[in-house]
Copies of this chain bind each other. A is one copy, B any other.
Amino acid sequence: MSNPWTMKMEMFTGFTDAEKRRLDELVAARRSTYRPRDDIIADGAHSADCHVVLSGLACRYKILRDGRRQIMAFLIPGDLCDAEIFVLKVMDHGVAAMTPTVAALVSGKEMKAMLRETSNLGEALWWGTMTDLGVLRERIIDHGRRNAKERIAHLLYEMLVRYRMVGMAADDTYDFPITQIDLADATGLTAVHANRTLQKLRAEGLIEAKGKTIKVLDPDGLKAVAQFNGDYLHLDRAHEHTDVGSRASDLV
């Protein structure tokens, strides 16, 4: 039984069975649970291990001196929290759990050893990092050139695609248990305005946001409002390797 991290990386690269087994072992070896608001890795910290989200939801964030907070990315199962520990001294931002979250602790030493032995892992890490860059760039466009409605629509559609990638968005519905305050901090809005905007999206029949679940009623409509173009997720690179059946690019 494979873990979400290996699954995600396999969208890009092809591992041998031996490699898969070894990755599974790495992930299974040590894990840790976090309560909402717990730091998985704190701003300014360094760690000998890197952290992979196995279940739950986490975010990258930074807090300014005056208390303003910005969420820069959401991490879902299969996402690597802190690739930087391999080359940088300390984290320049924090990663915190938003819901009860389980993360695997992967020893940096063993990762480095495995990186030396197989080029597949290195390539997969590069792919993950490059798509992270793409997502961040898209977020900059959100904030710089899209208004509140487009911005929230874009985020919700992107999360839909990402949850589809890990098989967690059946029926265009996914669990996204964040508060409107979190949503505001992620989109660069105030909670009040995020609320009003969300109401508009609901009123237009694009989404349903009951409790902690997002149901996308009209995917094409939402995509159009957001001016979403999924190229930056680089799913097209994927299907060359995957088995027959699901083409990754169908996810967008």
A64-77 vs B, CB cutoff 8 Å, 1 = contact: the mask equals 11101110100000
CB under 8 Å from chain B, chain A span 68-97: 68-70, 72, 83-84, 86-90, 92-93
A247 CB-CB contact with B under 8 Å: no
Q: B227 to A92, Cβ gap below 8 A?
A: no
Q: A87 to B127, Cβ gap below 8 A?
A: yes
A195 CB-CB contact with B under 8 Å: no
Give the interface size bracket for A toward B. Answer: 35 or more
A179 CB-CB contact with B under 8 Å: no
CA distance A125 to B140 in the complex (A): 23
Residues in B with CB closer than 8 Å to A65 are 227
Closest to A62 in B: B141
A118 → chain B, closest Cβ, in Å?
Answer: 13
Stretch touching chain B among A198-206, A207-215, A231-239: A231-239
Q: A89 to B234, Cβ gap below 8 A?
A: yes
A188 CB-CB contact with B under 8 Å: yes
Stretch touching chain B among A27-35, A129-137, A161-169: A129-137
Task: Known contacts A136-B133, A136-B137; decide if A231 and B68 are in contact (CB<8 Å).
Answer: no
Q: B129 to A133, Cβ gap below 8 A?
A: yes
Name the one of B64, B88, B143 contacting A234, with C-beta atoms under 8 angstroms. Answer: B88
A111 → chain B, closest Cβ, in Å?
Answer: 13
